[in-house]
């Protein structure tokens, strides 16, 4: 007998495997701007939480194992809980950069550089007050 999967089964992978790098919203927004100004489409899909306190960058699977950027967290998802469609991904979050407008994932090395540059910009701006 063949087993059928339900289309919206929360226990089944929703799409390609990915990890998610979560950063404070201010740093993440700066990084999105930096990535968009770079050559090509350097930014993949980006989530924001309902309170806009954090942003989540989708990165290739395996990134979490070596991620060490201070002030951020990289979480393995195994494709679970993230639907790569322009629809709202889950309760309490939404897409800042929806799938379809971006590559499937942001290159972790490029994201690392953008987050570092964003943090330096924030520190410089805060130091001018």
pLDDT tens digits for range 79-112: 565 555 555 556 667 889 888 766 678 999 999 9
Print burial letters for 84-108: b (CB count within 10 Å at least 16), e (below 16): beeeebeeebebbbbbeebeebbbb
pTM of the complete model: 0.78
Is-contact 67 74, C-beta < 8 A?
yes
**Both structure tokens of 35:** 């990535």
DSSP state of 74: E
Averaged pLDDT, 11-28: 77
């Amino acid at each position: 007998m063949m087993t059928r999967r339900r289309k919206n089964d929360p226990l089944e992978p929703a799409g390609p495997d990915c990890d998610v790098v979560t950063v404070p919203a201010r740093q993440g927004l700066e990084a999105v701007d930096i990535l968009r100004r770079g050559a090509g489409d350097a930014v993949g899909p980006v989530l924001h939480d309902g309170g806009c306190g954090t942003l989540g960058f989708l990165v290739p699977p395996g990134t979490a194992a070596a991620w060490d950027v201070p002030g951020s967290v990289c979480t393995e998802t195994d494709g679970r809980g993230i639907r790569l469609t322009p629809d709202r991904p889950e309760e309490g979050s939404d897409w800042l950069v929806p799938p379809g407008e971006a590559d499937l994932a942001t290159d972790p090395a490029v994201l690392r550089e953008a987050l570092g540059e964003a943090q330096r910009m924030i520190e410089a701006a805060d130091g001018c007050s």
